[in-house]
Structure 1
Amino acid sequence: MKITVAKYCIHFLISKGIRIVPGIPGGTILPIYDALAESEIQHILARQEQGAGFIAQGMARSTGQVSACLVSSGPGVANLLTSVSDAFSDSVPLLIFSGQVPRNLLGTDAFQELPTKSIVSHFTKASYLIMDPLELPHILEEAYLLAGSGRPGPVWIDLPKDVQNEFIDLESQESLISPKANDFTRIKANLSELQTAIESTIRLLHSSKKSLFYIGGGAKKSAEALRRLVDSLQIPVVSTLMGLGIFPKENPNFLGMMGMHGSVSANSALGECDLLIALGVRFDDRATGNIATFCPKAKVIHIDIDPKEIGKNKRADVFWKGDLSAFLENLFEVSSKIKKGNFWQPSPEVESASIREEGRIDRFFRSLSSHFRDSDFILTDVGQHQMWTAQYFPFPNERSWITSGGQGTMGFGLPTSIGVSLAHPDANVFCITGDGSIMMNLQELATLRELNSNVKLIIFNNKHLGLVRQQQELFYENRKSGSVFEFQPNFQMLAESFGIPGYKIMLGDRAEEQMKALLKPGPCLLEVMIPSEAGVYPFVPGGKSNQEFILNPPLFDASKKDIENDLCITS
């Protein structure tokens, strides 16, 4: 039996359990869309290709499974680049199918032609331009396994329009139903190297007096094993932005988020520890501050599935390139033989001066969390609201928190929330966004209303690009260049124009009725007016060590040229 390449691609997605595919059609992808029309796959018509990519991300991030997305050539590809680069930075498994001009027009600057493969090769795990239809079955299997194995990430398949219309035999259908293991995409544990890493870790733990776990987003899949090990060893833990939720805030071993807007306890611990056990992290600058002064007293153990991350930013004394769960389980088996009692914490007097100062913001998140179930999700865009959520919200588990980390993409929140809701239709999906971020993919309100998803948008409106304004106040003599919104829409009326209920409160208002409205089925928007001068503290300035944090906003004095000398920086 012969079918077109376009139909083969749809059969392939169905064979992998992919039943929802976002995208936007165009001339060069129409053969696949024609095949899609006759299939059981639900297509989600986004309003812009970036939105389609983030919707696919929402499904992939919340399930851990590979998701797919469809776009046309040229501007369709260009519009999708931001969401794919975001997926690459945060290790999100995606399959992207893009249309391309026919083979005989490649390289002629044809209408809506771009050199897609060469463009996307910089931020995908692999990219393919299908010139021979007979290569398709193998490439699809390879692409799918590559996207979801090892360190996950996006894989791109570019399909010229004439290739989509060609016929191939369906004789490989059996391999689609029961794909054979493909060794080159699987990370195999080297048991000898693992055993060496375990033995070296035990020796360092025995000689350490101030051990510290440093965990990131790569540890989420191993959360249960990690919690069990930490409970056994009683060693404190600090987390990156992406690792939040693995440990609840009330866990006595958990010191909080580290880095630029991390807790005083977490950042102080990094300066004092003599052994750092880094798990599923890449020593990102927002987490480490000045890498030259990061953990100056510590030996470093680094465990990560991506070999490229080992030693890239920080030299490791002990390392293992493999599955984190295998390391944790092996270490747990011998944990009873490891000495206990090196649990330690920075002085509580220091912590009392830190982020708990923002009482009204803290109370808002406490109120919101009282309506939050373990099965619900909370997402953010990027900005001050993201950092406040990270600082204050008590994430109940590792799956509940989703945000854009590596790229820090404004416009992430709304479309990604739609994708999460598609994958989890019974969950409430709370999207904390800002007045700047919401405008960047505002068009997806139409998609949200069309699907009637349980996405609850909460806009923190301070009439500024808040993090930009905050740094301009601190380091640019209070010159607010390009950070003030002179005009804004009426967000409540705007939501209602899309058929979405809208509400508005001032930060600190009693909002019981508005909170109840958020819990009703379907979408909802709540605008929260925030004082424009509100800042996110603690704050580690760029280029400083994590122990050089600003606890409180300074009183600005325009006559002082070197404002950093006027800051209250605590070491």
Structure 2
Amino acid sequence: MREQITVSQYIIRFLESKGIQWIPGVPGGTILPLYESLAESRIEHVLARHEQGAGFIAQGRARTTGEVSAVFVSSGPGVANLITAVADAQRDSIPLLVFSGQVPLALIGTDAFQELPTASIVSPLVKKVYKIEEPNQIIEILDEAYHLSGSGKMGPVWIDLPKNIQTQGIEIPDGNFNLDSLKKEELFTTKRIEEEPAYESLYLFLQEFKSLLEASDFPLLYIGGGAKKEYLRLRDFVSRFQIPAVTTLMGLGIFEKNDPMNLGMMGMHGTVVANEALGVCDLLIAIGVRFDDRATGAIQKFCNQAKVIHIDIDAREIGKNKPVHLRLQKDISEVLPFLIEEDFCIQNTKAWEQIEVWRQIPEQHPMKNILLDFASVLPEGDHYILTDVGQHQMWVAQYFPFANPKSWITSGGQGTMGFGLPTAIGVALSQREAHVFCFSGDGSIMMNLQELSTLKEQNLNVKVILINNEHLGLVKQQQDLFYGSKHSGSKFHFHPDFSLLCQSFGIGYSEWDWSLGTDELQRVLEKKGPAMIEVRIPASWGVYPFVPGGKSNQEYVLDKITM
């Protein structure tokens, strides 16, 4: 006899079968049937204080585990409030499965209470949006949606659920609930490359790759977030063949900070040596990158002396912004084993001599010592470094010695203020024994401040390091540089007392005077549980180097920072 359950019960069983142990969300009338089924399950619900916060909490799990994470919201304003977090996930390729309530089918198109045309609104921001109009659709759609979100170039997928559909019954074939029917693709080995015609294109690519590399006098690796999972092999590759590398913001941590092969972050706030190397390299090997404007500067001036090799999992990204000489659409995991096994003959001695000259150009900043002091007293054990968006984000990116790319989490493509706190909550929920540190600015922290309630409720080991300069720092910096220091809308003329604010939320608070050493800071960091650490800095500090919009990466601004 076939088992009959409701659509909402089926969804919850499906998510249980995928190992999801908690789901963030904000309930409302149109999604209450799903919440009824959730209450009967072993999945914990994390009640966010805002739907945007819920989306970022789900991102925290997805960014640390690499697995598809779910989030529940109601219709209308719930959908609208979630969009920012979903847009952020789309740009950074984060796998989210969104379930939104919708008014009953009979009311769609009548401007019913809390109705929005969800599918048409969110379709540009997701890999796919599904409108459920018949209960049995859910069986096939769930499998497809979950697989789509977590495969290829990962990203958000949205399922819109009319309220009346959620309560309708469906039959499970043969009484079995087997949701793990998708077959995992077998990773091929080096032996298969010559045995199977499907990999002939890879074989030809490797021959051309070798030819271009050996003909190069100044090869340079350009590595992004799409290559993070292969960071150990990438470290081996650059070490073995002595090829210098630059990384994007999202690729930080792939190479160790003190690795001589690592020229650092490139782009708008990249290192001098990274940006100068981009200007003279004659072969650019791009892996897991989008050639976005913050990394490349003026694209028409980017690496014009170089031949470009581009490897990416998404064919749409290859050649989209920059013409390439050699392309390969593949997961980097399928390529690196062969590259490492090759025997390249590389002559780049003169390139290294030039790199050492660029490394002598000073890039000192007081935030460097502050961040290195902070890193020196981190507690033992796993730790994650997150940021919001602004000057503090760029300083952390420039100076923090990340252990690996998994420990570094930030908003890249969308640059979303308010990202840090709720995402840190999601990270801490996924990594209960880890230490989670969220650097935020006095502007960013106010964007999702309400999630301090969620942090306290969950009693998570998250420390918020609040860098307070009483300004929207990057806005002020650009006004100083390009708008005659006309400071419109960049200064906060009122701030809450963050000490009293934390007290009201039941969150520990301390202020770190970085000029007095790290003893008190170390005591705060080692104490378990949530806390905020406020660090006051002058508003005059800027982020440098700085590549102005429309300029090449070699047209950077260097500034002497005064204490």
Asked if these proteins are the same fold (TM beyond 0.5), I'd say yes
Q: Deviations over 1:379-415 (max 9, x none)?
A: 0000000000001100011211000000000000000
Displacement, 1:510?
Answer: 2.2
Displacement, 1:496?
Answer: 1.5
Distance 1:515-1:395 versus aligned 2 partners, 3 A rule? same
Displacement, 1:505?
Answer: 3.0
- Paired with 2:354 and 2:127, the residues of 1 have a C-alpha distance of 41
Distance 1:47-1:340 versus aligned 2 partners, 3 A rule? same
Residue 46 (structure 1) aligned to one of 28, 48, 53: 48
- How many pairs align? 548
Q: Secondary structure of the residue that 2:205 maps to in structure 1?
A: helix
Residue 80 (structure 1) aligned to one of 63, 68, 82: 82
1:32-181 equivalences in 2 (<5 Å)? 32-171=34-173, 174=176, 176-181=178-183
TM-score (structure 2 length as normaliser)? 0.95
Distance 1:541-1:190 versus aligned 2 partners, 3 A rule? farther
Structure 2 letter corresponding to 1:467:
L
Q: Is residue 11 of structure 1 aligned with residue 13 of structure 2?
A: yes
Q: Secondary structure of the residue that 2:72 maps to in structure 1?
A: strand
Give every structure 1 segment of 4 or more consecutive aligned residues whose post-TM-superposition deviation is greater than 6 Å.
Answer: none
Q: Deviations over 1:99-125 (max 9, x none)?
A: 000000001100000011111110101
Structure 1 letter corresponding to 2:375:
S
- Paired with 2:301 and 2:170, the residues of 1 have a C-alpha distance of 58
Q: Is residue 325 of structure 1 aligned with residue 333 of structure 2?
A: yes
Distance 1:482-1:176 versus aligned 2 partners, 3 A rule? farther
1:176-191 equivalences in 2 (<5 Å)? 176-181=178-183, 190-191=198-199
Structure 1 letter corresponding to 2:383:
D
Distance 1:231-1:350 versus aligned 2 partners, 3 A rule? closer
Q: Is residue 244 of structure 1 aligned with residue 252 of structure 2?
A: yes
The answer to whether the 8 A contact 1:265-1:345 is kept is no
Residue 501 (structure 1) aligned to one of 499, 508, 533: 508
Distance 1:210-1:511 versus aligned 2 partners, 3 A rule? same
- Paired with 2:197 and 2:419, the residues of 1 have a C-alpha distance of 35
Distance 1:349-1:518 versus aligned 2 partners, 3 A rule? same
Q: Is residue 363 of structure 1 aligned with residue 369 of structure 2?
A: yes
Q: Deviations over 1:339-395 (max 9, x none)?
A: 35556254545444443x213x11211122123356210000000000000011000
Equivalent residue, structure 1, for 2:422? 415
Displacement, 1:176?
Answer: 3.5
- Paired with 2:249 and 2:166, the residues of 1 have a C-alpha distance of 42
Distance 1:129-1:34 versus aligned 2 partners, 3 A rule? same
Residue 407 (structure 2) aligned to one of 400, 404, 427: 400
Q: Deviations over 1:65-110 (max 9, x none)?
A: 1100000000000000000000000000010000000000001100
Distance 1:28-1:344 versus aligned 2 partners, 3 A rule? same
The answer to whether the 8 A contact 2:435-2:462 is kept is yes
Distance 1:553-1:364 versus aligned 2 partners, 3 A rule? closer
Q: Secondary structure of the residue that 1:550 maps to in structure 2?
A: coil
- Paired with 2:467 and 2:453, the residues of 1 have a C-alpha distance of 21
Displacement, 1:332?
Answer: 1.3
The answer to whether the 8 A contact 1:418-1:453 is kept is yes
Residue 463 (structure 2) aligned to one of 449, 453, 456: 456
Equivalent residue, structure 2, for 1:516? 523
1:340-351 equivalences in 2 (<5 Å)? 341-342=348-349, 344=352, 346-351=354-359
Structure 2 letter corresponding to 1:169:
E
Q: Secondary structure of the residue that 2:98 maps to in structure 1?
A: strand
Q: Deviations over 1:192-247 (max 9, x none)?
A: 22112111110001100000000000000111221111111110000000000010
The answer to whether the 8 A contact 1:57-1:419 is kept is yes
Residue 223 (structure 1) aligned to one of 231, 235, 254: 231
Return 5+ residue gaps in structure 2 as ranges: 186-195
1:185-200 equivalences in 2 (<5 Å)? 190-200=198-208
- Paired with 1:516 and 1:171, the residues of 2 have a C-alpha distance of 58
Structure 2 letter corresponding to 1:362:
K
- Paired with 1:8 and 1:496, the residues of 2 have a C-alpha distance of 42
- Paired with 1:302 and 1:354, the residues of 2 have a C-alpha distance of 32
Equivalent residue, structure 1, for 2:32? 30
Displacement, 1:151?
Answer: 0.5
- Paired with 2:484 and 2:317, the residues of 1 have a C-alpha distance of 38
Displacement, 1:506?
Answer: 3.6
Distance 1:190-1:137 versus aligned 2 partners, 3 A rule? same
Q: Secondary structure of the residue that 2:386 maps to in structure 1?
A: strand
The answer to whether the 8 A contact 1:72-1:100 is kept is yes
- Paired with 1:290 and 1:52, the residues of 2 have a C-alpha distance of 36
The answer to whether the 8 A contact 1:57-1:67 is kept is yes
TM-score (structure 1 length as normaliser)? 0.93
The answer to whether the 8 A contact 2:216-2:346 is kept is no
- Paired with 2:544 and 2:197, the residues of 1 have a C-alpha distance of 42
The answer to whether the 8 A contact 1:225-1:325 is kept is no
Structure 1 letter corresponding to 2:285:
I
- Paired with 2:204 and 2:381, the residues of 1 have a C-alpha distance of 39
- Paired with 2:381 and 2:242, the residues of 1 have a C-alpha distance of 25
The answer to whether the 8 A contact 2:541-2:561 is kept is no
- Paired with 1:454 and 1:554, the residues of 2 have a C-alpha distance of 34
Give the RMSD, CA atoms, in angstroms: 1.7
The answer to whether the 8 A contact 1:353-1:551 is kept is no
Q: Secondary structure of the residue that 1:457 maps to in structure 2?
A: strand
Q: Secondary structure of the residue that 2:500 maps to in structure 1?
A: helix
The answer to whether the 8 A contact 1:506-1:530 is kept is no
Residue 447 (structure 1) aligned to one of 454, 473, 498: 454
1:464-503 equivalences in 2 (<5 Å)? 464-503=471-510
Return 5+ residue gaps in structure 1 as ranges: 556-571
Distance 1:414-1:508 versus aligned 2 partners, 3 A rule? same
Distance 1:34-1:192 versus aligned 2 partners, 3 A rule? same
Structure 1 letter corresponding to 2:25:
G
- Paired with 2:464 and 2:180, the residues of 1 have a C-alpha distance of 41
Q: Percent of aligned pairs with the same residue? A: 56
Equivalent residue, structure 2, for 1:267? 275
Displacement, 1:514?
Answer: 2.6
Q: Deviations over 1:265-300 (max 9, x none)?
A: 000000010000000000010000000010111000
The answer to whether the 8 A contact 1:242-1:403 is kept is yes
- Paired with 2:453 and 2:353, the residues of 1 have a C-alpha distance of 49
Displacement, 1:338?
Answer: 3.3
